Amino acid sequence: MSSDQTFLNFSKEEDIPGPVTKDLLALRKEIQHHDVLYYDQATPRISDREYDRLYGELLALEKKYPTLITKDSPTQRVGERAQGFQSGRHHVPMQSLENTYCEEEVLDFIKRLHKLLPNNLISESREAASNDLALSIDSGKRDHSTLSTSCSLSPSATVTTDSKKEDPAEAPIALTLEPKIDGVAISLLYRDGIFVRGLTRGDGTCGDDVTRNLEVMPMIPKKLHGMAPSLLEVRGEVYLSKKMFLTLNAQRDEAGLPVFANPRNAAAGSLKQLDPSIVKERHLEAIFYGCGALEGMLMTTQTELIEKLRAWGLPTHESIECVRTPQEVLQGIERLGTIRHDYVFETDGAVLKVDSFAQRARLGSTSKAPRWAIAFKYEPEQATTRLLGITIQVGRSGVLTPVAELEPVFLAGSKVSRATLHNEEEIRRKDLRIGDAVVIEKAGEVIPSVVGVIYEKRDGTERAFHMPTCCPSCHGPVTRRAKEVALRCLNDHCPAQLRRRIEYFASRHAMDIAGLGEAVVAQLIEARLVHNIADLYHLHAEELLVLERMGEKSVHNLLKAIDQSRRQPLWRLLVGLGITHVGVRAARMLAEHFHTLEQLSLASIQELCAIEEIGSVMAQSIHDHLREPAMQQLLAAFKKAGVHFGENDPVLVVQQGPLQGTIWVITGRLSQSREAIAELIRSLGGKISLSISAKTTYLLAGEDPGSKLARAQKLGVSVLEESRFREMIGA
């Protein structure tokens, strides 16, 4: 017997075929391999659907041959712990949920609930809810009670059992329905309202202590609002918004680093950083929806728990739907499926939970999952097409990125004809060949991604792809830096790099030079009118008039826009310089702190780290970039061309402004651009935030405000229309 087989519990009475044992061992080994990739390295190689298929096969084998089940089996463990962190024990085990992709199994779940719950318990739970017995605060007249996710009743609690069952249609069970966030499960521990520790799920019993990383997340309160329980173990998900996912992957791609497969893996990779400043820079967010241990208070339903979490200042789902009948359940799941793309986070399903904690206690749980909840997972939106070719795109830092040229196909509401392949390693891992029939989906519901090859459709005409040995733009040498998977062009004067740098410099979020689009930039470089970004400020009308589609009016407008950009505020110049990790938010903070580029250039790493939300990684990047010889030459050329370095910027924050100390979120259509109104708020002492939280002072809502309005109303944040805002500032 092999070493892998020694842990199996063979039964003498049961004759188990040899192939079954081999299949079971192979499945366990494959699943354990993917668990390491998913939990520890945050680099999954297969989709959730494929993983669930493998897991289902193992589950079916173990169900048929129960004597082969062991504690080491993936079916008996919740998750894995990462390396490099201290371990902490959950007060109440942190279980996972059973998944299904099938509506029939959701209906079977509801039937099981009715089979396991006596009708009088259903009635009592409804009566308790209607009598508003949601919260009993310990006042010394009763013992402290503990509420857990497994909802075990204390020995003193009694439930009358009655073999008589009501028809499910006559006695519906109250359920809650909420979106399933594709994030990283966490558990926060509060004592007397003070945050003391945060753990990942880990193996369900013990998790990684990521307290220092969670402490830098602004939406996690260090102290709960109002009357808090003596002990609270709150459960939720840490996630990376879809917008930040795009930003982070673009930065990593440009730096030649491996990109994240989806927002969930980006969040996991961020949370597992040993340096909290990296977590701070990536703007992780969180949502909470349950609890483990709870002492000093007694709650009876999930609905009431959510309301209490909100009151304590913990972010929760914007809306949790209450459903009772099977028809309402299926309609709710379908409704969530149609709006899930509107959420700022990625969601891959809907979670259905029994609302009553008394009913949950009666239902209990298995060793891995509660019987009172189930997750319905939506099938990923995929399409089949053909890989027509692979082209190479050269980025502004010289990174060579392979791009899949696809037979156009509609996916998630838009036509897709191209998808990034990131690097050569990705192509080899997926065994992609030109001519292959491939499956594509949108990673993070945004970026087209090639999932894999349909091997059975290969006919032998497919061709392997090899990365070029020289830059396809300048034909210069390419190389790989240490610890990088990407190839990089070494020529700083490469036309493709220059084109990308100018496009980025002129973009709306940087120097905002209207009329300097891709086509014009390409012509400028091809005509050798610009050799670096600073040459833009030395262009003349007669040079531009010979370019295609450039008449006198177009040339006049372009030169005017370039001239106006000389006086753009410092933060826009900092964005335009393309410093790794520095986006709009970081650039604003740097400009507000140092006021001029000269002062910023003199700053030490320690001085940079002292600024809010500037961590060690970003500080090192800023420090190094501004001292590179090529950057020094560019800045000198800018200075000579009359580009402002912040010395003429107005004071960005008025210390005694009428909005001093307020935090604003802007949403909807207003009479001015959001950026213009944000500048106005900052000039009057206010701060701008991208998301609603308990710390938000005002939501400025224009037409079509979207989900932020509902979020603000639920958190009790003051909502202002533009007219009221103008009155407030005396405009």
d(Cα 333, Cα 342) in Å, to the nearest integer?
15
One-letter amino acid for residue 653 of the chain: V
Q: Report in angstroms the alpha-carbon separations of 709 from 164, 278, 360, 705, 718.
A: 47, 30, 33, 6, 10
| Residue whose C-alpha is closest to residue 356's, from 113, 129, 150 | 129
Q: Does the active-site annotation cover 115?
A: no
Tokens for 48? 């959730």
d(Cα 89, Cα 209) in Å, to the nearest integer?
9
d(Cα 412, Cα 299) in Å, to the nearest integer?
41
Instruction: Say which residues have a Cβ less than 8 Å from residue 661's Cβ, sequence separation at least 6.
Output: 685, 697
Q: Report in angstroms the alpha-carbon separations of 377 from 14, 72, 169.
A: 36, 26, 25
CB-CB contact of 281 with 618 (8 Å): yes
| Residue whose C-alpha is closest to residue 511's, from 488, 495, 534 | 534
Tokens for 140? 């010394």
d(Cα 625, Cα 641) in Å, to the nearest integer?
21
**If phi over 0 gives left and psi between -120 and 50 gives alpha, with beta otherwise, what is residue 646?**
left
Q: What is the torsion angle, in degrees rounded to the nearest 10, for the CA atoms of residue 263, residue 267, residue 269 and residue 275? A: 150
CB-CB contact of 653 with 679 (8 Å): no
Work out whether strand 437-443 and strand 382-394 pair parallel, antiparallel, or are unpaired.
Answer: antiparallel
Tokens for 450? 């090639």
Catalytically annotated residue among 180, 272, 280, 353: 180
CB-CB contact of 578 with 586 (8 Å): no
Residues involved in catalysis: 180
